[in-house]
Structure 1
């Protein structure tokens, strides 16, 4: 019996170390974090056509944001870097809203987990649930590894200007938004 307990404890420690290592490696100090993805030619159109569910259970399409500079963030409540970047996204949403910027979160998670997280960390931009098709949608817009978080910036003309796989700090996102607005 003691061997089983020791094995389980060792396994849990090793798993925690692996998760911590992956999280730390996604946070590259001194250089931009994350990486870019290959952007499929129809990524923006795929997003605009997607039908997602809001937290109240109603259907929504990103089409309603066409003509704005759109920041789409794929995330999950269980993802530490996702949770860490969201307060900065909320600040930038408020800062750039009058310039036609709209942030939208797409949760690859269930509604209860998302609601619980948003109670402790409220954000003032729409949160949508991708449901069972979330993985397919994420892949279709360039996230072939399904890493989270994954962020796309689409300019007002409907062109994907930037993607970032992994944690995206506010200080890195703000100049990307300014560039997208300048085009």
Structure 2
């Protein structure tokens, strides 16, 4: 193959890959920051979520069932995800404010145990960080995360029903308003 043909093929390949990446980015962005009130989630997916027992950042097993009856915000995240890390202070502030009002926030890391442990030690959050690993991506899809993006949150009311799912980080006072609506009075 001559040099001119190689350059033409390389240019075509770069253009093709760029087009595919651009399209994928556009499709993903369409799904980011979408909150879905009262989503249709199968009882099976919700049971599977609530049956999880995962190690916390110190390696101790924690069952999600221990928080049944509370408003439960389950946030799927990763240490390598910039929007996830940006959202953490908001979740921490919400946990500190709402803890005595029947709210529990739980972070489930789609990440390595060591990375989650180091993040927890460095950031000293008011809520537990559990180690979920990549095998939980399929569960997030069953819970409404068709784009398989992070962060992804599932908000469960004190009645045990899913009140909302959210792909993308909570912003401004959206979480605050939601917790005001759901928290026991």
TM-score w.r.t. the length of structure 1 is 0.77
Partners of 2:57 and 2:120 within 8 A in 1: no
Partners of 2:110 and 2:132 within 8 A in 1: yes
- Number of residue pairs matched? 165
Partners of 1:85 and 1:170 within 8 A in 2: no
Greater Rg by CA = 2
Matched, 1:36 2:39: no
Match of 2:60 in 1: 58
Matched, 1:142 2:144: yes
Match of 1:3 in 2: none
Match of 1:49 in 2: 51
- The offset of 1:113, in angstroms, is 1.4
Partners of 2:72 and 2:155 within 8 A in 1: yes
Residues 87, 113 of structure 1: alpha-carbon distance in 2 compared, 3 angstrom cutoff: same
Match of 2:153 in 1: 151
Match of 2:90 in 1: 88
Distance 2:79 2:157 in 1: 27
Match of 2:8 in 1: none
Residues 164, 92 of structure 1: alpha-carbon distance in 2 compared, 3 angstrom cutoff: same
Comparing 141-150 and 68-77, the one that deviates more? 141-150
TM-score w.r.t. the length of structure 2 is 0.76
Q: CA RMSD in A?
A: 2.9
Partners of 1:67 and 1:157 within 8 A in 2: yes
